[in-house]
Every structure is written in C-alpha cells, then in structure tokens.
Structure 1
Amino acid sequence: MLANAEVARDFLVLGQHYKELVASLLASLEMPATPLQVAPTKRGNFPGFDPSQIYLIEQGSLAVRYHDRTLYLLEEGDLLLPDIAGGREEAAMVQYSSDIGATLNAYPALEFMHRVYRDPAATRQWTRILVTYAGLALRVAAAHTPADAETTPGFELYEAGQDIIRQGEYGDYVFHMSSGTAEVLVDSVVVGRIGQGEIFGAMAALTHAERSATVRAKTTCSVAKVPKEQFTELIKRNPATIHSLLVDMANAIVNLNQQLVSLRK
C-alpha cells in the first residue's frame, strides 16, 4: 500500500508486514485464482470489477478513490477488499482505478472465506491481516488529516451570582458553558440566558472590542476558557465550531429581540 500523503516510517514497515501475511495466507489456502488484466482507467471502477471477488495485485497498481479523492494506492502484493459497506449510489462508493494498468488475481470471496474459516490457523492469519490493514488505513487517514489546533482550555467554576465576563472589559478568552446556566445582562437588564454547551464571549475576542454584556452565573457553572488566538485557529480548522457559534449567536439575537419587545409593552 502506498499512501497519497507523507507518512511516518512505520507505515512502510507495517505495509511490508501486511504483504508477508497476505502471501503466507494465500500459500496456505492453495486456492486457484483467475487472472485479470486491467487497462488504464482514469475514473470509476476498472472494467471487469466484481465486488464479489477478492483481488491480489500481481503487477502495477490501483488507486483507491472516494468522493473523487485518491486515498491510497494498492501495489504488488496487496489485497483489494471490496467495500461491501458502502451504499449503492456511485458517489457513496469506494472506487478502484489504475493510471498505468495492472495484473490481478481474482478469488471468489465466498469460497475464499469458506477456506479461511475451515482452518483455525488460516482464521488467525486472516485476523492478523485485517488488523494490520486497519492499522495502515488509520495511518493514511491521519496523514490526510490536518493537525488539530492545540487548544489548551482552562476550566473555572463560578458560583451563582458571580460574573463570568463583565460589560465594558476587553476579551482575551472565548468561553464554553460545560454545565450550569447564566444570565446575560446589558446595563444591568437581563436580556438573555446561556445554557450548557453554548459558546459565548466570541464577538469581543474576535473583534478586539469591549464586552457588550455581562454574563452572570445563575446556577453553579463550569466554564471552559479558550485563549482567543487558539479559538481563531480552531474555527479555521473545524467548521463544526463555526456552526455552533452561529447557532449560539442567532439564539442570542432572538433572546435579545424578545427582551426588547417585552420592555416596550
């Protein structure tokens, strides 16, 4: 297996071990194979691909693609294990193609598995192959994943009545309510509430402006504090954080509007 990204040296060692396990298993099964010549294929599965077969790459290589992204390459000595967990829609399927062509040996998957599970030694070997394959796939996934932002939040406990942030102060932190509830006050008037799981204090931290409101604990609150620099990096890398922030801001605006309507009555 060849990763389509920079990987650690242990990936190469594990890949060689994987091929040795595959070769040993196939030798013990003594199962006849059907040779298949694969022509160069840029998109979609190669002609003749059959998801009911297990393939061994004898020569050349195959690209493993998902959502139009090449995840890794299968090379000589690797097994192609069809993605039987995927959906029927083409966009949701793992696909196998080859830029240069390849020579494969095909084994009927059902007969292959019957032979494996008839022999306890082969079963143990097959288990080792699957575990090793999973280790390779995990390393490929890690190589394709950007390094996480190193957020080092501090946790603080606030008793009911204590101010978590104060109106008019400058914000160096963004907060996440781990547990408890708090009230939002503008000029000492309650204009909203913050509950468990909500992010608050982001606007002042991101815009370098003064805090527009005071947040005061209504019950005992456990709050995570993230430095604004690290929070900025986090939202660049994690769209889910942006979504959560937008939802919380929208809720805050709705609550503020409701309070304004109540004050006008």
Structure 2
Amino acid sequence: MLAKAELSQDFTILGRQYKKLVAALLEVVNMPGIPMEVSPDDRGNFRGFDGNHFYVVERGSLSARYQGKLIYVLEEGELLLPDIAGTQEESAAVHFSSDAGARVTSYSALEFMRQVFDDPAATRLWTRLLITYSGLMLRITSGSVEDEAGATPGFEVYEPGEVIIRQGDRADYVFNMSAGIAEVVVDDVPVGRIVEGEIFGAMAALTQADRSATVRAKTNCSVVKVPKEQFTELIKRNPATIHSLLIDMANSIVNLNEQLVGLRG
C-alpha cells in the first residue's frame, strides 16, 4: 500500500504485513472468486466498497480517491474492505481507478465471512488483518493533517530481554504479536508465553485496570500496538475480534495451568 502523504518507515512494514495476512487468509479460506477487469481511467471508475463484496488486487494497482482527492494506492495482493458509509451515500464513497488498468478478484462478503467465522485459524488471521488495516488507515489520516490529535497504532521491535508490558503500569494499548515469542511474568515468576498472532494486553485495557503481568521479549519480537479506545471500537464493529480474543485468553489460561502444575510438581 502506498500513501500520498510522507509517512514513517513503520507504515511500509505494516503494509508488508497486511499483504502477507491477506495471502494467508485467502489460503485458509480457499474460496473461489470472480475475476474482474478494471479499465484504464483516472476519474474513479471503479467503486470498490459496495458492501457486498471483497476485492483483491491481482494485477496492476488501484488509486483510492475520496471526494476527488487521491488518498492511497492499493497494490497487487492487497484487499479492499467494504465501506458502509459509501453504500449509503454516493458523496461519501471511496472510488478507485487505475491509470494503466488492473485486474481484481471479487469475493462475496457474506460467504467469505461465514467461512472466516467457521474456522478459528481464519478468525485469528482476520482479526490481525483488521488491526493492521486500522494502523495503515490511521497513519494515512494522521499524515494528512499538520497536528496529529490522539495516539495511533504503532509498530515496534523488541530485542530479547526487553520489556513490552510492565506489571503495574497503566494499560493504554492492546498488542498483537506480529513475529517472535515473549514470556509472561508475574512477580518475577514465569507463568506463560505469547507467540506470533496472539493478541495480548486486552484484559487490562478493557477493564481499566493496571497491568497484571510483565511481558518480556524472549526472541526478537515485532509488535503492533493499538490504543485501547480504537481497539474498543474495533470490537464493537467486528464480532470476529471477540472470538479471537476468547481463543487467546483460553490459550493463556491453559498455559498458566501448565505452569502451575509444573511449579507444584
């Protein structure tokens, strides 16, 4: 994904992650799509966010315009997500065009989401994709204004031994482990671990409590951090996020039980 505004390096990193997540999700869902050709045009001839379909760019690129202004460019392998506002009012729609022409594959949004909800692995990928997409869109938005108001999702890298979350600190962010392994420690006692794809730090953020554990990188870790207010909105709009959270919390409980059994033994 390319943005019109000058953005930081983590936008590029998130863009690569977004493309990888799209590819992984399509592989898990394994649903046939319908190919569509987008004719060369620079006026916004393709209204992609119709609410009934998802689209994946297979060849070429698409320029996204809102109210006539170029906002970003979707490249090969990237996914167009429905925009509810654009389906209700033409003036609020995001329009796409391609100077040289492009090919996209169309998927029924309803059937696609049915398959996502039926498969825990797909649900987890979908949640990670939404978090990454949210980070990309918020960076594009913040890059278009001079003074950024409020926090936006960040992408951070931690070396082994570095603390990602510290016990007792205020919970302002929810995290997604993009790559790596981290250990969970309570009062200097290891009680579990966090692996790639897991969402963590959500419980304290959602309950307004302080951090109940320290999370420390065990290997090199790449982490997406999302402000708790934005994560709350994500949950309200996407039930799949709740499903993924429950899976991660259940895994955490299993890991904790295993640790307790080991300590007693």
Q: Aligned residue for 2:205?
A: none
Whether contact under 8 Å (1:38, 1:47) holds in the other structure is no
Whether contact under 8 Å (1:28, 1:122) holds in the other structure is yes
TM-aligned CA distance change 1:72 to 1:148, over 3 Å: closer
Whether contact under 8 Å (2:49, 2:86) holds in the other structure is no
Q: Offset of 1:89 from its aligned partner?
A: 3.1
Whether contact under 8 Å (1:22, 1:77) holds in the other structure is yes
Which runs of no fewer than 5 residues in structure 1 stay unpaired?
150-265
Whether contact under 8 Å (2:47, 2:95) holds in the other structure is no
Partner amino acid, structure 2, of 1:3:
A
Q: Aligned residue for 1:105?
A: 105
SS of aligned partner of 1:6? coil
In structure 2, C-alpha distance between the alignment counterparts of 1:146 and 1:4, rounded to whole Å? 14
Q: Aligned ranges for residues 1-265 of structure 1 at < 5 Å?
A: 1-46=1-46, 50-86=50-86, 88-147=88-147
Q: Offset of 1:81 from its aligned partner?
A: 0.9
Whether contact under 8 Å (2:34, 2:107) holds in the other structure is yes
TM-aligned CA distance change 1:82 to 1:24, over 3 Å: same
SS of aligned partner of 2:41? coil
Name the TM-score, length of structure 2 as normaliser.
Answer: 0.53
What's the CA shift string for 1:80-114, capped at 9, x where partnerless? 11212336332221112222211111111110000
TM-aligned CA distance change 1:45 to 1:9, over 3 Å: same
SS of aligned partner of 1:15? helix
Q: Offset of 1:12 from its aligned partner?
A: 0.5
In structure 1, C-alpha distance between the alignment counterparts of 2:17 and 2:92, rounded to whole Å? 30
Q: Offset of 1:49 from its aligned partner?
A: 7.8
SS of aligned partner of 1:131? helix
Which runs of no fewer than 5 residues in structure 2 stay unpaired?
150-265
Q: Offset of 1:42 from its aligned partner?
A: 2.1
In structure 1, C-alpha distance between the alignment counterparts of 2:146 and 2:48, rounded to whole Å? 36
C-alpha RMSD of matched pairs (Å): 2.0
In structure 1, C-alpha distance between the alignment counterparts of 2:21 and 2:85, rounded to whole Å? 24
TM-aligned CA distance change 1:115 to 1:64, over 3 Å: same
In structure 1, C-alpha distance between the alignment counterparts of 2:24 and 2:144, rounded to whole Å? 31
What's the CA shift string for 1:135-188, capped at 9, x where partnerless? 001111111111369xxxxxxxxxxxxxxxxxxxxxxxxxxxxxxxxxxxxxxx
In structure 1, C-alpha distance between the alignment counterparts of 2:49 and 2:139, rounded to whole Å? 27
TM-aligned CA distance change 1:28 to 1:148, over 3 Å: closer
TM-aligned CA distance change 1:87 to 1:21, over 3 Å: closer
What's the CA shift string for 1:3-29, capped at 9, x where partnerless? 011111111111001111110010011
Partner amino acid, structure 2, of 1:79:
L
How many aligned residue pairs are there?
149
SS of aligned partner of 2:21? helix
TM-aligned CA distance change 1:33 to 1:148, over 3 Å: closer
Q: Aligned residue for 1:164?
A: none
Partner amino acid, structure 2, of 1:133:
Y
Partner amino acid, structure 2, of 1:123:
T
Name the TM-score, length of structure 1 as normaliser.
Answer: 0.53
Whether contact under 8 Å (1:61, 1:76) holds in the other structure is yes
Q: Aligned residue for 1:215?
A: none
